[in-house]
Amino acid sequence: MGRTTVEHRDSPRAPTALKVVVLSGPDAGAEVALNDAVSIGSDAANNLVLRDRSVSRKHLQLTPSGARVLIRDLGSRNGTFIAGTRIQEVEVAVGAVLSLGDTTLGLQPRWHTREIAPSTANGFGELSGESLPMREVYAILERVAATDVTVLIEGESGTGKELAARSIHQASLRARGPYEVFDCGSVPSDLAESELFGHKKGAFSGAVADRTGAFVRAHSGTICLDELGELPLDLQPKLLRVLETGDVRPVGSDTSKKVDVRLIASTNRDLQAEVKRGRFRADLLYRLEVVKLRMPPLRQRLEDIPRLVERLLRDALASGDRVTGSNLDLLMGYPWPGNVRELRNVLLRAVTLGKSPGETHVSFQKLVFNLGTSTTTPTMLGSEFPGVGFPMEFKDAKAQLLAAFERAYVTSLLKRCQGNMTRAAELAGLSRKHLYELLKRAEANVDPLDE
């Protein structure tokens, strides 16, 4: 079915250009502009009419308020749900996904274009989850896996970027070849070129023997450049040359070697913003952005938590023990700034401390979950920085600090510009599109104006 656009007539233009899009169900692809209050249901009098038989005649009403939307269920028979929770009236931000009957709706900026329909799968490789955001990711992965196209994976720390990269490799025609991961943020800048491309004996002080670089080790397989935004600027043109020619020249060598490598890159940075700041080359970004996808944070797919918990605790729970009750409610009510990695660590801690000596299994309901201590109660050095006083990995602590900064920065920026997105984008050195994405990611409590 083709895309249908329904304009809500005789209403003023909303401060922020939003729309409601039918993401799945019998009317998938239909959309309606959120200029004013919009009614949705099966009755022909609604602004958006759905053919889903499980949707009530007058099911719900959406009313825009700046960058947020007030959702009110109109006494529907089967209810309106957000992240698995039935709602009566709630205010949500752009990007929210609603479920009613067999239909899902998304609240999106008017400029947003949907390229492909969500997958029907509940997992892809090592990724798991049945939520709409994850099924949209699977749809992209299913299409790119069988090709050699370059993929750029964006997302916060802990969202599964490396799992996605590895899953692409495992589902590709190169699955029998090597899979090489190069962490651009963990290698000193003066050694990065040698680690990537290799070096000859005597090329520099300490080069006591020839060394094979990551690209050569990945020959006939896949190389994943993790945290690409950390790659030194002076090394970026050399990486671009390798991507364009397939020739790798070790440090200190006069000859090059051909490599056949598929590239997947991941980053938690806004690379287009880095280009504007002069910290990332535009030509390299154009070469990498063949296919770009963003891994959703866990707070945007809370309905996946039960399945994730079952998978992560598969060997720890007794047979027949169910992931339900107050403990599940506790996990689903937490914002998870560290995403799936934080969830895994919380579960591991609870299981470790919850087992008595000699026990092999634990009861989910008896586990004690210690939430938020890594970001709210630093205990060392008197630091106010999240993660410093807790034994977490450097990348996780850094990502949480950056997330807090982004939220504060966007909130202050838009308040200073009185919600004017064009002015705010100019001051920040960002495109309007990326400022919207940053606003959505930060979930800042501000109302931008889309003038």
Gap between the Cα atoms of 161 and 311, Å rounded: 18
CB-based contact 59:41 (threshold 8 Å): yes
> Tokens 């602590």 correspond to what residue?
397
Asked if the model's pLDDT at residue 168 lies above 60, the reply is: yes
What is the predicted pLDDT for the residue at 406? 76
Give the helix/strand (H/E) hosting 137.
helix 132-144
Asked if the model's pLDDT at residue 373 lies above 70, the reply is: no
Pick from 283, 291, 161: nearest CA to 226: 161
Q: Which of 74-78, 201-205, 295-299 has the lowest mean pLDDT?
A: 201-205
Least trusted range by pLDDT, from 154-158, 200-204, 444-448:
444-448
Average pLDDT over residues 410-438: 78
Buried b (16+ CB within 10 A) or exposed e, 363-390: ebeebeeebeebbeebeeeeeeebbbbb
pLDDT at 381 (0 to 100): 32
pLDDT of residue 60: 96
Give the angle subtended at the CA of 70 by the CAs of 67 and 74, to the nearest 5°: 155
Least trusted range by pLDDT, from 12-26, 143-157, 161-175:
12-26
For residue 395, the model assigns a pLDDT of 67
Is it the case that residue 385 has pLDDT exceeding 90? Answer: no
pLDDT band at 40 (very low <50, low <70, confident <90, very high): very high
Dihedral angle, C-alpha 302, 135, 310, 341, nearest 10 °: -70
pLDDT averaged over the chain? 83
Q: In this model, does residue 292 exceed pLDDT 50?
A: yes
Lowest mean pLDDT among 20-24, 199-203, 221-225, 276-280: 199-203
Q: What is the pLDDT of residues 120-137, one digit of tens each?
A: 888 999 999 988 889 889
Q: Is pLDDT of 93 > 70?
A: yes
Question: What pLDDT sits at residue 1?
Answer: 38
3-21, pLDDT tens digit by residue? Answer: 333 333 333 333 457 899 8
- 294 or 438, which is more confident: 294
Asked if residue 383 has pLDDT above 60, the reply is: no
Q: Which residue has the higher pLDDT, 325 or 434?
A: 325
- 347, containing H or E segment: helix 339-354
